[in-house]
Amino acid sequence: KQEVTQIPAALSVPEGENLVLNCSFTDSAIYNLQWFRQDPGKGLTSLLLIQSSQREQTSGRLNASLDKSSGRSTLYIAASQPGDSATYLCAGNTNAGKSTFGDGTTLTVKP
């Protein structure tokens, strides 16, 4: 059974700092991994989808990496802004499309 862990549960950084969010998974037989952002009271917004055959994906100031052998994915956010404040969730997906989510890291970027 897949288990996904995100540590730390909360992170506070000053504006402009580069930061890394971590996601660990127990079953290396994942098909892909997806990173999401969730603002308070809202649904999830997809940020990046990284396939098991890829090592990283980039979108703007975001870069996600995937290392199946170590069971880890990271989300790198460059030059953080107050608007980046949100909860970031990762989900490991099987080839049947079943998703297992972590509990998220709540990021606060202080002006």
Partner 1 sequence: EAGVAQSPRYKIIEKRQSVAFWCNPISGHATLYWYQQILGQGPKLLIQFQNNGVVDDSQLPKDRFSAERLKGVDSTLKIQPAKLEDSAVYLCASSLERVSEQYFGPGTRLTVT
Residues that bind partner 1 (CB under 8 A): 4, 31-32, 34, 36, 41-46, 49, 89, 91, 93, 95-104
Of the pair 89, 109, the CB lying nearest partner 1 is at: 89
Of the pair 90, 109, the CB lying nearest partner 1 is at: 90
Nearest distance from residue 61's CB to partner 1, in Å?
19
Nearest distance from residue 105's CB to partner 1, in Å?
11
Joined together, the tokens standing for residue 36 give 């999401």
- Sign of the four-CA dihedral 91, 104, 55, 83: positive
Of the pair 3, 17, the CB lying nearest partner 1 is at: 3
Q: What is the DSSP secondary-structure string of 16-32?
A: T--EEEEEEES-S--SE
Nearest distance from residue 43's CB to partner 1, in Å?
4
Alpha-carbon distance of 9 to 28, in angstroms, equals: 23
Alpha-carbon distance of 92 to 32, in angstroms, equals: 6
Nearest distance from residue 98's CB to partner 1, in Å?
6
- At 82, give phi and psi (nearest 5°): -55, -30
Of the pair 74, 94, the CB lying nearest partner 1 is at: 94
